[in-house]
Amino acid sequence: MNAQAKPAPLVEMRDISIAFGGIKAVDHVTIDLFPGEVVGLLGHNGAGTSTLIKCLSGAYRADSGEIRINGEAASIENPRDARAYNIETIYQTLALADNLDAASNLFLGRELVTPAGLVDDVRMEAETRKIMGRLNPNFRKFNVPVSALSGGQRQSVAIARAVYFNARILIMDEPTAALGPHETQMVAELIQELKAQGLGIFLIEHDIHNVMKLCDRASVMKNGHLVGTVRVNEVTDEDILGMIILGKKPGGIA
């Protein structure tokens, strides 16, 4: 009996290299991401994870290598190109306008307008309530500035904005940094919901416990090189820590 065919990767980054001033920040790295999967990217500061992922988000251009999206070669030279491939990035800073409410943030720069050309606040709030109902049904604070929201609620707004505009590939930079246990759980539930909807997520993360809890696979980098990619249910926290520190895959893992 034939094994069920594996879906094509959402993202393939093949043999990516990028150097700054002669120093290779990323050196011939290959990783991939499948629909409904979370891949954690780990490594010490300077390991190359952020640089690698910025090639996907359009912030940097790789010197060599290839990016494929849904099996097709992709040309990503700036963040606008990335968005055209349904790639959205949620940075730690979240890039929210603190003085505006959730709906105004969701549609910031892409406002809905009435036939008369006026900003359609009613429709924007209705659309925001709809997407929030799908992602975070407990969200209620639609009419306050996002500065009044908790960290987890702010993450909800940033994630909702990405999903509303058809993100299929999400890059999340330490989404639970500086959040308490309850807020961290809220973000974990959001990530599970996104997985269920078939999104692929790259999670840049320094907390190994979060990787073990949230990710399906983990890719570890050291000094610009890929140490390896492992399934988190086949390794321990100590195995991953050893990959980060020693730059070696755990014994018995091919």
Find out whether 18 and 62 touch, Cβ atoms under 8 Å. yes
Domains of the chain: 1-86+168-254 (3.40.50.300), 98-151+161-167 (no CATH)
In order along its 254 residues, the chain shows pLDDT tens digits of 445 666 789 999 999 999 999 899 999 999 999 999 999 999 998 899 999 999 999 999 999 999 999 999 999 999 999 999 999 988 776 678 999 999 999 998 889 999 999 999 999 999 999 988 888 888 889 999 999 998 888 888 988 888 888 899 999 988 888 778 888 888 888 899 899 989 999 999 988 999 999 999 999 999 999 999 999 999 999 999 999 999 988 875 55
Instruction: Report CA dihedral (85, 42, 50, 165) to the nearest 10 degrees.
Output: 30
pTM here? 0.88
| Rounded CA separation 98/95 (Å) | 9
